[in-house]
Structure 1
Amino acid sequence: MKRPCISVAIKATKKRTMNKKRIQIFLMVCDVALIIIYALLFHLSRPMSSTSVAFVPQGSIGQIITYMVDKNFDLHARVDKYLLDLIGKPQAGWVSIQESVLTRGDFLYKLSHSKAPLKIITYIPGETKEFLLAQLALEFNLSYETLQQEYAKATPYADGFIVPETYYIPVGIKEAQLIHFLFAHAKRYHKDVFEKIFGEFNEQKWLKFIIIASIIQKEAANNEEMPFVSSVIYNRLKKEMKLQMDGSLNYGQFSHTKITPQRIREDTSPYNTYMYKGLPPQPICSVSKEAIFAAIFPKQTNYLYFVKNKNGTHTFSQNYETHLENIKKE
């Protein structure tokens, strides 16, 4: 008669044991969850430094995090990826961070919700980098001297490297970041153009063509004239004649300076093609794709001279006598 009572007691004991185990498991899960929550809160509250604006590339959240880690942002590739999945995917483009020191949580939130206001800057072909940097300094309240220093650190080329086009630049950008942005685009642009034509990028060949293109850009009245101006340059170089082109003296700060006989006599820089044979050592201005193509593919002519005519274009000639007659006509 006692056996049923013993059986019931055993079952009750087993049930209590199972309940205790469930409670223990539940408490362990809660402990682990609390540890994870505390770890995430600690992770999100940690201070990190940032630029006032940050660029977010196109791509998945993982690709964006990898890009920003490569740019020395203090992010955790795996943890911050999952956090951004919860907060929201960053939109491609410039993001306004503003604070130089902020928490990681604030930074991740701004990546997803704080688009930076942009200003439009147009850099025209034929302009020099001095005028571009002066415009950027004025528009974004930056130091012109610091921009010059950052430019000099980034490239040995005096001019002709920054691509003339319209840029959308975020308010709050700093000098080094702005130069890096312009140069990263320029490197891709020049590499793509020359690889499409030659199959590879050769720096010495590139520099020669950009120098010629910069003179063409200053001298030609329009895109149609560019291959003809290019032919005059190559024909004169072949005959070891001085180029004698006014445009070569419109370098740097002299971009908009009228070239006078006095200036030709007094400018002893290597950009004075009236004084020295051959090409200048550096490009003299920004160059369009049309000027680059003209430098690479000149028109096949015997022209050695050209003079501006009443229509605002140029009249080309093969010999000096005809050139003098053309000057009298104009």
Structure 2
Amino acid sequence: MTYLFSTVTSPKIVYIPQGSVFKSIAHLQEEGVNVHTIDAFILRLLGQPQQGWIDLKEEKMSRIEYLYKLTTAKAATRQITLIPGETTVVFLRQLSDELSLDRKALQDAYAQHAPFKEGSFVPDTYSIPNKISEKELIVHLLNESDKKMRSWADEYKQPFSKEKWLQIVTKASVIQKEASSVSDMPFVSSVIDNRIKKGMRLQMDGTLNYGEYSHQKVTAKRIRTDRTPYNTYKNKGLPLYPVCNVSKDAIEAAIHPKRTDYLYFVRGKNGEHIYSSYFSTHRKNIVNATK
């Protein structure tokens, strides 16, 4: 009986993932809450824990009260969507504007906790509680993204080492920016591989749509003046970092490109890409696409 009235210390707002009561308790333990396996059995007697964000109102309470609140309380949330191909700079601005959060605090938290400079988020629709700090939000989004990326790595039988996964996400981000559709992605992936094998520069405009330039048209002047590693007109190979946040489709295309000998593509009048293996054909395709 004394155990039920011992004190539990917890953040006022906690996130409960989908799954069993044991998974809920394990997640809370990972978050630093002083709950134990036995609490899962007590929780079962009280009911099913709520899923998503829980607003507990207090940081300290008795164990029985804490477990009961997990089954009854729920936080008011708002949905926010990160679309595939969007950059983190733009997404953090969106979070700041729509959730009334401090932009610099979001940026600082991302810089402190993200594994990559760009591409650490998984595009999705997230339910976010109205009362959450900038650091808590960033850590939550990164943790959820990390879980999804790990599941993708397992599905495609890829090692989830930081260096290896960074290369996959970087390639996927270029595909995400360049492809005209999901079905087009494996073809863009093949062009990337073919050009790199031949020692050719990628010369892809999409790599210059990084950061704050996400939605800006890439001009000839921009290509000449941009001296960052993202400029694939001046630098060989892929950029050092991803240029955006990527979808599962782009990851799959990066890992499983089409087998082609294509080296060039241009967007046709219908919005789809026209591929070619020879520069002479590519030039003709450009002329036809602009008529």
Question: What range is the shorter-chain TM-score in?
Answer: 0.7 to 0.9
1:73 aligns with 2:33: yes
Task: Give the alignment partner of residue 51 of structure 2, picking from 84, 92, 99.
Answer: 92
- 1:247-258 superposed matches below 5 A: 247-258=206-217
Structure 2 unaligned spans of 5+: none
The 8 Å contact of residues 159 and 165 in structure 2, kept in 1 or not, is answered as no
- The one-letter amino acid paired with 1:164 is P
- The one-letter amino acid paired with 2:33 is F
1:114 is aligned to 73
1:231 aligns with 2:194: no
In structure 2, how many angstroms separate the alpha carbons of the residues matched to 1:291 and 1:60?
Answer: 32
Residues 65 and 304 (structure 1), Cα distance of their counterparts in 2 relative to 1, 3 Å cut: closer
- Deviation at residue 103 of structure 1 after TM alignment: 3.6
Q: TM-score, normalised by structure 2?
A: 0.88
Task: Give the alignment partner of residue 123 of structure 2, picking from 157, 164, 169.
Answer: 164
- Deviation at residue 50 of structure 1 after TM alignment: 4.1
Structure 1 unaligned spans of 5+: 1-35
1:27 is aligned to none
Give CA-to-partner distance per residue, 1:126-155, whole Å, 9 cap, x none: 111111111112222211111111111212
- Deviation at residue 125 of structure 1 after TM alignment: 0.9
- The one-letter amino acid paired with 1:231 is S
Task: Give the alignment partner of residue 321 of structure 1, picking from 261, 270, 280.
Answer: 280
- When Rg is computed on C-alpha atoms for both structures, the one with the higher figure is 1
In structure 2, how many angstroms separate the alpha carbons of the residues matched to 1:62 and 1:192?
Answer: 20
In structure 1, how many angstroms separate the alpha carbons of the residues matched to 2:27 and 2:256?
Answer: 39
- 1:112-151 superposed matches below 5 A: 112-151=71-110
- The one-letter amino acid paired with 2:120 is F
Secondary structure class of the residue paired with 2:184: helix
1:56 aligns with 2:16: yes
Identity %: 45
The count of aligned residue pairs is: 288
- Deviation at residue 86 of structure 1 after TM alignment: 7.3
In structure 2, how many angstroms separate the alpha carbons of the residues matched to 1:56 and 1:303?
Answer: 47
1:275 aligns with 2:234: yes
- Deviation at residue 93 of structure 1 after TM alignment: 2.3
Residues 308 and 161 (structure 1), Cα distance of their counterparts in 2 relative to 1, 3 Å cut: same
1:207 aligns with 2:166: yes
Residues 240 and 83 (structure 1), Cα distance of their counterparts in 2 relative to 1, 3 Å cut: closer
- The one-letter amino acid paired with 2:49 is P
The 8 Å contact of residues 140 and 172 in structure 1, kept in 2 or not, is answered as no
- The one-letter amino acid paired with 1:132 is F
Residues 222 and 57 (structure 1), Cα distance of their counterparts in 2 relative to 1, 3 Å cut: closer
In structure 2, how many angstroms separate the alpha carbons of the residues matched to 1:237 and 1:145?
Answer: 38
- Deviation at residue 241 of structure 1 after TM alignment: 0.9
In structure 1, how many angstroms separate the alpha carbons of the residues matched to 2:274 and 2:193?
Answer: 17
Of the structure 1 ranges 259-268 and 87-96, higher mean CA displacement relative to structure 2 is found in 87-96
